[in-house]
Each structure stands twice: as C-alpha cells, then as structure tokens.
Amino acid sequence: MTQTETSENTIASALVATMQAMRTHGLNVGAAGNASARHPESGMWITPTGISAETLTPQQIVWVDATGQAHGAWRPSSEWHFHLAIYRARPDVGAVVHCHSLAATALACHRREIPPFHYMIAEFGGQTVRCARYARFGSEALADAIVEALEDRLACLLANHGLVAVGRDLAQALHLAEALETLCKQYLFAHALGEPVWLSDAEMADVLDAFRSYGQQPRTTGEHLSE
C-alpha cells in the first residue's frame, strides 16, 4: 500500500468515525447529515448520499475533485456543493460537518441568529452565530448562503434545515458542531423565561480578545500565569 493510499484510508476511516459520533451524540438520525475533509491535491473526500452512519464503511467515502467531479462507485452527499464551496472560499478550513441536531434545527426554523447571550458564542469567531438564508438542500444557492454566513465564523445555522461547522480537521469541526448544539439548547432554555440579557459589544470584544489565548497554547520560557 502506498503512502497516498494509507492517507486516504486514514481520512476515510476518520469520516466514518465522525458520522458515527454524530449519530451517537444525537446530532443526526439515520442517513441525515454529512461530513467531508479537504483533499491535499484537489477537492475533498465526502460521505456518500443515502447511507446511514450505522452501515457506512471507509470504502464508500467519495472523492470529489475541485471541478465537482465525483470519482468512484458511490454518489457523494447531495450537499457536496456547499462543502466544495466552503473549501474554495476558506483555505483555513480542513473539514466540514453538517447535522440536523434538535436544538439547532429548532432555532434555524425561526430563521434567527444566536445573539451574544453567553460568552461561548466567541468560540465560533464572532459576536453572533449567523443563520444562513433559506435555500433548497443540495442547491448552489444554499452553498452561496452558507459561505456568506460563515464569513469570519466557524459555524452557522441553516434556515429551516440544521447547522454547519468547520475546522482545521474533523475533530475540531465535530467539536464545534457539538458545542453549537449545546449553545442552542442553552439559548432555548434561557429564552423560555424571556429574552436573555445580551452581552454588550464591548463585553464581547473583550471575550473575543481573551479567546485568542483560550485553551492549550504553547508556553514560552519564563512566562508567568495570569488570571
């Protein structure tokens, strides 16, 4: 087996594991949702259409090249247009996941963005999580709407549809999808008592600045810990 074949098998297995994790964590049911990873030479690897996570195998992962041509025996996800559009627009993105999780979809059906009710909004790159305008699934119009909603963001809702999360790799994209679903649940619970108090622009700017060093970062020699 060549190094290229080994890499392809590793990514295909990771895509299967990602789809299975989304099902296990309640983000998708049956054959809903899809995931992809950037191909190092052209286009992407993406999950196939109409196959549930329970029965999905690495051999069914599809390579779609940069021109939109699918290769192999299996048809790609019907949402391949927006996956490919994201990779074209965002060179920083290495993976994309899409799901129809309960809370995110409920909010998306109201076509409303998630406001800065909680500081963890900043994890997605801005002061809000946008909701992409409605377009039919699988359409180029939906691809355009998602690329627009993801500008300077790592996730967005899709009107009357679900959510999309992107990351440098599948692990980050999956984490962000799970984190966004949790945030949507929190917003729905908080909203049951009325509109939550929003953080101000200044407060969110402060949070976004703090997020630049959030999580595990390389330590420098002689660095002192702050609060």
Total tally of structural domains belonging to the chain: 1
Residue 164 in any domain: the answer is: yes
Q: Is pTM beyond 0.85 here?
A: yes
Q: What is the DSSP string of the chain?
A: --HHHHHHHHHHHHHHHHHHHHHHTTS--TT--EEEEE-SSSSEEEPBTT--TTT--GGG-EEE-TTS-EESSSPBPTTHHHHHHHHHH-TT--EEEEE--HHHHHHHTTT--B-SSSGGGGGGTSSSB-EEPP--TT-HHHHHHHHHHTTT-SEEEETTTEEEEEESSHHHHHHHHHHHHHHHHHHHHHHTTSSPPPPPHHHHHHHHHHHTT-SS-PPPTTPPP--
pLDDT, tens digit, 9 for 90 and up, residues 164-212 = 999 999 999 999 999 999 999 999 999 999 999 999 999 999 999 998 8
Its domain, for residue 93, covers 3-211
Catalytic option among 5, 41, 79, 140: 79
> For the chain, what is the mean pLDDT?
92
pLDDT, tens digit, 9 for 90 and up, residues 118-157 = 999 999 999 999 999 999 999 999 999 999 999 999 999 9
Residue 69 in any domain: the answer is: yes
pLDDT, tens digit, 9 for 90 and up, residues 32-70 = 999 999 999 999 999 999 999 999 999 999 999 999 999
Residue 125 in any domain: the answer is: yes
Residue 217 in any domain: the answer is: no
Residue 9 in any domain: the answer is: yes
Give catalytic status of residue 79 as yes or no: yes
Q: Domain with 55 in it: what CATH number?
A: 3.40.225.10
